[in-house]
Structure 1
Amino acid sequence: MVAALVFLMFVAYRGFSVILFAPVAALGAVLLTDPSLVPPMFTSLFMDKMVGFVKLYFPVFLLGAVFGKVIELSGFSKSIVSSVIKLVGRERAMLSIVLVCAILTYGGVSLFVVVFAVYPFAAEMFKQGGIPKRLIPGTIALGAFTFTMDSLPGTPQIQNIIPTTFFNTNTWAAPWLGVIGAIFILLAGLAYLNWRRRQAAARGEGYGEGHHNEPELFADEALPHPLIAILPLVLVGVLNRIFTEWIPQAYGTTHEMTLAGATKPIVTDVSKIAAIWAVEGALLVGILTVLVFAFRPVSAKFAEGTRAAVAGSLLASMNTASEYGFGAIIAGLPGFLIIADALRAIPNPLINEAITVTTLAGVTGSASGGMSIALAAMADEFIAAANAAGIPLEVLHRVASMASGGMDTLPHNGAVITLLAVTGLTHRQSYGDIFTITCIKTAAVFVVIAFYYLTGLY
């Protein structure tokens, strides 16, 4: 299992296709465990999980890519970038991108959608500010993959929702710890990124040339008004929240329909996909809003632009789906149980939970997957240890949520691969910055634990 993980990280870092090598790595581990299980594990576990991921999330990837493309073609991205630069100055481009990512993710927009939507803004802003393009992934990662994903209380991201089912808490659990952790991540992350920018400036390094997947240039002089330009983004965030509440009310927890000539009704578990429907509906409205206000410039390049968007969304979704299948096979190996059992030996319940969740998230390459596996196997033990030590379950919730978004961003992580694919960069160019942000994120969990023990506040 460890060999499979190291191999997959190596090939991902070297730039090889994870779609090709994730099953090779996973089935290699199965081969060394029990060769007879290779065919059934591939068909019934790897492919089942991979196809299940595509079934649920490909529309989100596709609509997110199209939304980002029409935002780019309309000139809205350049309008927003120009306005932000006037407002905060060129030297604060990184802060601006981090804040935009944070607003979107805290508003409920999927992390993957944020990557597609924000990249055109970041490329324009970094180009105008003379900041190396290779720093864009680390900047987007800080804004979208860290404090708004699982630290800030109330965030609607799945990493903050999963613990509620195990600890009987809500998304606002341990607000003081969440805010303290978020502040630490934001300040430390910005300090690191600005240090990297100053290093590049001292060497005379600018945005660079010959990059891949560069956003289309917007040649028209008359830019859209910034309030019109930002309207689609605001609508996506607001409508996502509204649809999230409205869809379960309209359809109930389950929905049945019987088609003409069918003998059995088709049952949809709305409770499990309401959030996905909400994002898809909000993105559709966002795309239509862009078309209403900027039909002429978008229509001129719509065919070519959407072809690129569809290709990018296919690559991104299949990369992530392949990782999902890899994690499912790894979680089913005996070696995984050995690691889980070894982690039980850590005495302090909060440190035990933090290390267990972040380790399993790293092994599976998924924050939500690793946390789900860890809590499904060990939540009762965490609760018993916390009750014995007088630790509120809200603290367990916040620690588990924050720990899931730490070491999950190893080189084989689906979100990392998607981020690099969308920005047209490689692991070698930009992964070092993403990994440093990951280390800051992981350290924040232990800062929060120390704060709780020192103050008792949560």
Structure 2
Amino acid sequence: MNFAIVVAALLLLMYIAYRGYSVILFAPVCALLAVLFTDPAYVLPMFSGIFMEKMVGFVKLYFPVFLLGAIFGKVIELSGFSRSIVAAVIRLVGRERAMLSIVIVCALLTYGGVSLFVVVFAVYPFAAEMFRQSDIPKRLIPGTIALGAFTFTMDSLPGTPQIQNIIPTTFFKTNTWAAPWLGTIGAIFILLVGMAYLTWRRNAARTAGEGYGGGHVNEPEYAQEGKLANAFVALLPLVAVGVMNKIFTLAIPQYFGAKFTVALPGHPLTVDVAPNVGIWAVEGALLIGICLVTAFAFKEVSTKFAEGSKSAVAGALLAAMNTATEYGFGGIIAALPGFAVIAGAMKVIPNPLVNEAVTVTSLAGITGSASGGMSIALAAMSDTFIQAANAAHIPLEVLHRIAAMASGGMDTLPHNGAVITLLAVTGLTHRTSYKDIFAVTVIKTTAVFVAIGAYYLFGIV
């Protein structure tokens, strides 16, 4: 019964998200219905003690990143830099490779350390422009961005600074470069198969006579007149965000140390620096990116910034709250008895790598969060994974890479915060565009087992 309650809550939320209803409203409803059927007395305590704590904690940590990311994307749009980048890329690779261009841009940003949420805000304006000029259906933009930002650079490629590649280091005592060959094999598989799928979808739409379409919502503003900015100048803020994020990541711990005390009179404040390094680094990098865009295109940005910033703030609020409520939902589900049943059932899979992959990707799917699902899975079962791996003489680096890749597999179900944010930013719906995101999800999940097969067939790490 407890298992059925958890599954029913998950399926209900997925259905509601797919139908286009607000997850901000229905995520707590679905979570608390599960609590109600478990024990009615738990509803109010778990709402205040788990759901609200998780939701508010997420907003506290990440809302500035959402806000700065939205403003960064907006000033890139208002400055006309998006059109300049689009024009340069089209000249370089041709209109028929517009999808590949967007995937590459997303990949470079995420591998450079830019949050995938920030990438969505930053890339969408010129993705929309490129798709419009190339007459590719707008509904294919989410799948294209998902392939570039949510897959191989998030957790497959060795050294990626994304959180999904960092969490396993604390459990397996590895580093972010663990199992580089397996990660690279998985990344190549995702890129090749993912691009083949998107190309097939593009060709099918063209055969049917479907173009970019009209009547869309949340369309970027296009300055149709005037000279385009220099493409290198337009690219500089995007590159600067990635570079400065890396610099700040290295410099902040050296400057502040492990803890930093603010000597306020009567109110000393001590902050643990390590948990905040990644967030502070991204925020600082985004501020520099915004300043660079404004400096290079002050006239264009200043004349439209008042109205543009309002829409950016509204988008950031919506995206942050969507994801925060998902985080609260995952916290409730993870605390229910039915979740323990699911976690325990995973232990019966004999092969240690397959066991780990299925467990991590399943829990990521249930919680709707790659990092959240992996954290829960490894906190509960990492010792079991390590013992099984040692018995089978499997290096812990392989455990690291499989766990990281699996976390980004089935996490992108309809209720995933990144999926909801992506669709909200692009002005599209689950009904029109989730099919392609799910296809990318299946490809990403398959890549985990390709990497496992490569290890057993060739013994490479």
Pairwise same-fold verdict (TM > 0.5): yes
1:167 corresponds in structure 2 to 172
In 2: Cα distance, 1:261 partner to 1:155 partner: 42
Helix, strand or coil at the partner of 1:408? coil
1:42-61 alignment, distance < 5 Å: 42-61=47-66
Q: How many Å apart are 1:408 and its aligned residue?
A: 0.2
- 2:444 aligns with 441
2: CA distance between counterparts of 1:64 and 1:4?
32
Name the aligned partner's letter for residue 443 of structure 1: T
- Equivalents in 1 of 2:296, 2:370: separation in Å? 38
SS of structure 2 residue aligned to 1:268: strand
1:414 to 414, 417, 427: 417
CA shift, 1:267, in A, is 1.7
Q: Where does residue 428 of structure 2 map in the other structure?
A: 425
| Aligned equivalent of 2:113 | 108
| Counterpart position of 2:41 | 36
- Deviation of the 1:221 alpha carbon: 2.1
2:125 to 120, 125, 138: 120
> 1:260, CA displacement in angstroms?
2.5
Structure 1 segment 5-404 matched on structure 2, within 5 A? 5-262=10-267, 265-404=268-407
- 1:268 and 1:318 mapped to 2: Cα distance? 25
**Paired letter, 2:321:** M
Q: How far apart in 2 are the matches of 1:40 and 1:245?
A: 41
SS at match of 2:460: coil
Alpha-carbon distance in structure 1 between the residues aligned to 2:438 and 2:272: 37
Q: How far has the Cα of 1:258 moved from its partner?
A: 3.1
Counterpart Cα distance in 2 of 1:163 and 1:121: 34
Q: Which amino acid aligns with 2:436?
A: D
Q: Report how far residue 266 of structure 1 moved.
A: 1.5
**Which amino acid is the alignment partner of residue 20 of structure 2?**
G
Identity %: 74
Whole-angstrom CA distance in 2 between matches of 1:175 and 1:219: 45
Determine the C-alpha separation between the residues in 2 that align with 1:407 and 1:261.
49
Cα distance in 2 for residues equivalent to 1:223 and 1:448: 44
Alpha-carbon distance, 1:256 to partner: 1.3
| Distance in 2 between residues matched to 1:206 and 1:359, nearest whole Å | 37
Measured after TM superposition, the shift of residue 135 of structure 1 is: 0.1
Measure, in 2, the Cα distance between the counterparts of 1:236 and 1:101. 13
SS of residue paired to 1:219: coil
Q: Which runs of 5+ in 2 are unaligned?
A: 1-5
Distance in 2 between residues matched to 1:431 and 1:332, nearest whole Å: 29
TM-score, normalisation: structure 1: 0.99
Q: Work out the CA distance in 1 between the residues paired with 2:303 and 2:225.
A: 13
In the TM superposition, residue 220 of structure 1 has moved relative to its aligned partner by 3.0
Deviations 1:435-454 (Å, cap 9, x if unpaired)? 00000000000000001000
| 1:417 partner letter | I
Q: Distance in 1 between matches of 2:368 and 2:166?
A: 19
Alignment RMSD, CA only? 0.5
Q: Which amino acid aligns with 1:276?
A: I
Task: Please give the secondary structure, in 2, of the residue aligned with 1:350.
Answer: helix
Per-residue Cα deviation, 1:236-292 (whole angstroms, up to 9, x for no partner): 000000000000110111111132233xx2221110011100000000000000111
Take 1:62 and 1:239, find their aligned partners in 2: how far apart are those partners? 18
Structure 1, residues 370-411: CA drift from partner, whole Å, max 9, x if none?
000000000000000000000000000000000000000000
Matching residue's letter, 1:457 = I
| One-letter amino acid matched to 1:246 | A
Separation in 2 of the partners of 1:212 and 1:232?
27
The CA deviation at 1:7 is 0.5
Query: How far is the alpha carbon of 1:218 from its aligned partner?
Result: 1.3
Residue type of the alignment partner of 1:67: F
